[in-house]
Amino acid sequence: MSEILVLAEIENGTLHSTAGELLAAARKLAAELNLDVSAALFGEITEDITGEVVALGADNVYTASHPKLASNVADAHVAALEQICQQASPTAVLTAKTPLGRVVGPRLAYRMGVGVAQDCMNVTGEKISGKITVTRPVYGGNAMAAFTFTDKNPQFIVVRVKAFEALERDDSRVGRIVELDMDIADDQIKVKLIETVKEESEGVKLEDASVIVSGGRGLGGPEPFSQLEELAKMFNGAVGASRAVCDAGWLDHSYQVGLTGKTVSPDLYITVGISGASQHMAGCSSSKSIVAINKDSEANIFKEASFGVVGDWEKVLPSFTATVQELLSS
């Protein structure tokens, strides 16, 4: 039986959150195409990590701990993943749209002479033909298009972060662990990691927050974002922003939500002064509930919002924040 292969990334000694998302996508495909799900783990691998991968949906786990795989340098991961593909002959290979996955997938697809689909939001398999169809945004996020691969395998799919929700962990699952010896030559590594500089951040990561308060150009400047921070802290949430805000230098681009920023799927997404352009909505459309505050009653954000307030944010937000504080303290 062939398989769907997932590149499960390891970061700071723990399994990256995208691994669960990819395994959920792979399990969906596996059920539709009657295939196994396999995961590739590179770097410093522990029994806890392999156990977690199996619990999240992997039937087989390929592990390799070559010294050149210790850092997230794409060259080594491409070489290692290629060797697994040659041995396992997977039907499809899924990588996440992370700084590593968005490079490894396309590079290996080119090397193997097969197709690749970028920034995918959904994947489906047709059992009779065995073909895989992906859905991805086009025209700057203004439309979604479906693309079907040809019969040439493996089919490489780069999945957008947060497009899938990880399955509930099942520790009763049993998987096959395959330890591999990798042959990675020095001339295969063109890039050398010299230094890693970590950005210090406080509070909840934007992509992990269950509540996000995002501001747009309608706030008029960087100062009002302190009010958004105040509201976000009440929920133990995070602050986000539209591209216009980040391009203007009001906030760093690490706060940006949207097609060219981060994709988020919080339980609650509160927008203040955001018009709701398709590029922004592409990054937050999977939010369970969207609350919009905007003075323009015709703003596109109200078409997407579960609840909306038409009014000047300077008048609405203080009373909104006060009411939230009162409810949370009662």
pLDDT at 1: 53
pLDDT at 201: 66
pLDDT at 285: 86
Q: Can you give the pTM of this predicted structure?
A: 0.84
**Helix, strand, coil fractions of the chain, as percent rounded to 5:** 35, 25, 40
pLDDT at 257: 94
Is the pLDDT score of 185 beyond 90? no
Euclidean distance between CA atoms 243 and 216, whole angstroms? 8
Q: Encode pLDDT of 204-231 as tens digits.
A: 889 889 999 999 999 999 999 999 999 9
Q: Encode pLDDT of 277-293 as tens digits.
A: 988 998 898 899 999 99
Could you give the percent of the chain with pLDDT greater than 70?
99
Q: Encode pLDDT of 239-283 as tens digits.
A: 999 999 999 999 999 999 998 888 898 999 999 999 999 889 988
Matching CATH topology for 3-188 and 206-329?
A: yes
Euclidean distance between CA atoms 124 and 109, whole angstroms? 20
Place of tokens 């025209």: 139
Other CB atoms within 10 Å distance of the CB of residue 151: 8
Please report which confidence band the pLDDT of residue 190 belongs to, taking 50, 70 and 90 as the band edges: confident
Strands 307-310 and 289-294: parallel
The domain ranges of the chain are 3-188, 206-329
pLDDT at 72: 75
Could you give the percent of the chain with pLDDT greater than 90?
73
**Which one of 3.30.70.3420, 1.10.4030.10, 3.40.50.150, 3.40.50.620 gives the CATH number of domain 3-188?**
3.40.50.620
**Which one of 3.30.70.380, 3.40.50.1220, 1.10.287.3510, 3.40.50.620 gives the CATH number of domain 206-329?**
3.40.50.1220
Strands 211-215 and 268-272: parallel
pLDDT at 135: 95
